[in-house]
A and B are shown apart, each in its own frame.
Chain A
């Protein structure tokens, strides 16, 4: 039992590291705005799959690391991610039985919420406001979610985390 617990934690940790890696991987300038919110999506998946283990504090810690990695104010991403993961954990029982496309829409709303909070932080601290392209990544996230879901689900099953 405890072995599965440790293994599960490792899988979550590794996927988050990969998500962070994808977030800072250099892209051509045109693709920068289309980069999906890898970290947010991975956290939402784990919050839905393992709500008793991955919760707000995972999100908070990952958010801080993301802030440092992307050079933003500390807490900038941590705030949005914790709120989004909280909502995902609260509603996991309902969302888990949704068909995949409906689930993707739910995740999309969460992704928008995360971006909205980040935007609010930008505004509150008087930093320059991004343009409309800022929201493009949520649409990429919406399209990507079904695939990410399947990949991560298989991964967690194979690793015996669930």
Chain B
């Protein structure tokens, strides 16, 4: 008994302080993976059934909506290509290096419940697909979180609403830099250390500032929902709501940021590497960021 307790304590310390237990965790995780897939099965079957039961009219409507959305997005993309190259040219003139171009891998969230106190999800791509710790995770709308643990077949993603997650952001309107921290309560983020006279308004879009080096710059993160001035607080209390659909997305994007040279390579690679099920798409995962 004492042996087991000591071993458990030792493991806790080792895991918490030194993160040495990757191998042990990975082995156990591979054992647990079938169970996770099994737990995911009811949800998967329900989705399949929903797909089978969809009638023609619904499909037609959905198709039409998607076609329209595609048209709009494509139109915007045309502009984006021109803007991107212009941006690169200007930055070249300024002599500043700028990372652009991303490789994107689509992963699926397994419907598995983890510790209810934390905001984490398991996705079905792991180190075998090249996922690494610290990798940014997005959905179609915005930043969702980052990878905190990788196993051969799956990885754990810490969402931005977890109270241990903080993310360098800037206000899109005026470039005010700050840090968005999860609260672990509901779907809220809070902005840290905003001075009393700072220009933050309800409805402001927050985008990643790229300061931490983890997240590429310019992805939308959240929208400010409340600005409160407490007389006894030296800072303004600002809350924000993530624009990513954290509790509803099923597909997520894992992003690799690439330097300009490797970006062009990866582009060609992604085009030729259209193997079924590999899910690799071109670097067109860029979202938003008003011109």
Contact = CB atoms under 8 A, between A and B. Distances in A.
A21 B38 contact: yes
Interface stretch (A63-71, A105-113, A145-153): A63-71
Interface in A35-78: 35, 56-57, 59-60, 63-65, 68-76, 78
Most-contacted residue by chain B among A26, A65, A134 (CB, 10 A): A26
A92 B4 CA distance: 20
B247 to A, nearest CB: 8
A104 B280 CA distance: 53
A128 B164 CA distance: 8
A57 to B, nearest CB: 7
A33 B9 CA distance: 26
Nearest to B122: A71
Contact of B9 (A65, A79, A128): A79
Contacts of A69: 32, 35-36
B16 A25 contact: no
A59 B25 CA distance: 17
A27 interface: yes
B113 A74 contact: no
Contacts of A125: 12, 16
Given A71-B156, A78-B4, A26 B39 contact: yes
Interface string A22-35: 01111101001101
Contact of B7 (A17, A60, A121, A128): A60
B9 A75 contact: yes
Interface residues of B, number: 43
Q: How many interface residues does chain A have, given as a range? A: 35 or more
Given A21-B39, A86-B1, A125-B16, A72 B8 contact: no
Main secondary structure on B side of the interface with A:
helix
Given A25-B113, A73-B16, A68 B9 contact: no
Nearest to B12: A75
B24 interface: yes
Nearest to A134: B117
A11 interface: no
A21 B35 contact: yes
Contacts, number: 116
Nearest to B7: A60
Contact of B1 (A17, A21, A56): A56
Interface in B19-61: 21, 24-25, 28-29, 31-32, 35-36, 38-40, 42-43
A99 interface: no
A140 interface: no
Contacts of B21: 74
B15 A75 contact: yes
A84 to B, nearest CB: 11
Contacts of A35: 113, 116
Interface in B143-186: 149, 156, 163-164, 184
Contact of B39 (A25, A76, A124, A130): A25
A59 B43 CA distance: 30
Contacts of A17: 35
18 contacts: A17-B35, A20-B32, A21-B35, A26-B39, A57-B4, A65-B31, A68-B29, A70-B114, A71-B114, A71-B115, A73-B16, A74-B24, A75-B8, A75-B9, A75-B11, A79-B8, A128-B118, A134-B117
Given A24-B114, A74-B15, 16 more contacts: A24-B35, A24-B112, A29-B247, A32-B116, A35-B113, A60-B7, A65-B32, A69-B35, A69-B36, A70-B114, A71-B156, A73-B12, A79-B5, A125-B16, A128-B118, A134-B117
Interface of A: 17, 20-21, 23-27, 29, 32-33, 35, 56-57, 59-60, 63-65, 68-76, 78-79, 82-83, 86, 121-122, 124-125, 127-130, 134
